[in-house]
Amino acid sequence: MNVLSETEVPMKRGTMLVGLMLLGFPTYAVQLGDTQPKPDVKAKASAAGPPGVSGGGVQGSPGKPAWEWSDEERIRVRFDPASIRERATAHAASLPTYAHVQAQSAAAPGASQRVIDGSRDPGLFLPAELLDALLEGLHSNASFRTHARDALAKDIRGMGYSEDGFWNKLEQLSAPYRALTSRPKNLTVKHVTTPDGKTASFLIDVDRCVARHNLLQSARIAFGAQAFQRFLYTAVAPQVWSSEGESAHGPDRAQELIFVAGGCRQ
């Protein structure tokens, strides 16, 4: 698993960096409760048009709001070579001067780094990934929990829920999944058949993966499928970014995400 250190992330004052050790996913920097958000966070979150990748000229990127993308579209654009290069370039341009100097002195600076900035390209995250970020609002650490809840409070009220009511309901629904995340991972090698008849293999904790998928479905029923999906992409996604090397999870990474998106059953 690719672990990000704080030195790899340009931190803003008031931003909390949280490493989410997600099932089969890279580590995420979750920027919840940022008092100085990135300039484009608000614009991206409220835009009715397509996410940033469509503006970058990536062929085949969906021309619709991030919450309406299909899982197949998210994965296709996420692994599109042109999109990967364009996102890496945009990320490098956003770094402070000292980070640019470091990058320029390194071999192939960012060329194979898969970066997703949720404030810019929210549609590239799977709902399951954003659900894990949302659960920071139930973190055992009071500081993490408070930052997460403060960042999402306005959007929760915008869905028509009280903050306490929302978090109490999510806590109740997520209890089985959170119980599994509190124990050591039970990783097994999963083999899946790709559309072209090949076999893809990856390590995954299937029990956790299924429990998270079940939680996602339960949350959609409890909060309204469309409202909750939009909330994930307009409120949660702009607070999240991820970065992983091209070989971080091996050549079958895309097939792993397809498996996750399908509910971890085959």
| Cβ neighbours around 86 below 10 Å, total | 19
Give the pLDDT score at 35. Answer: 30
Minimal CA–CA distance to 65: which of 134, 123, 131? 123
Structural element, H or E, at residue 87: helix 81-94
Which of 1-15, 47-61, 173-187: highest mean pLDDT?
173-187
Give the pLDDT mean for 9-34: 36
Give the pLDDT score at 81. Answer: 92
- Dihedral sign for Cα 124, 241, 126, 228, please: negative
Tens digits of residue pLDDT in 242-253: 988 765 556 799
Tens digits of residue pLDDT in 119-161: 999 999 999 999 999 999 999 999 999 999 999 999 999 999 9
Between 172 and 97, residue with greater pLDDT:
172
- Strand locations in 78-195 (E): 114-117, 188-193
Q: What global pTM score does this model have?
A: 0.77
Q: Name the residue ranges covered by the structural domains of the chain.
A: 6-261
Q: How far apart are CA 235 and CA 240, in angstroms?
A: 10
Give the pLDDT mean for 180-203: 92
Query: Is pLDDT of 220 > 50?
Result: yes
Sheet with 19-20: strands ordered across: 19-20, 28-30, 240-244, 114-117
Report the helix count and the strand count for the chain, using DSSP H and E: 11, 6
Give the pLDDT score at 251. Answer: 76
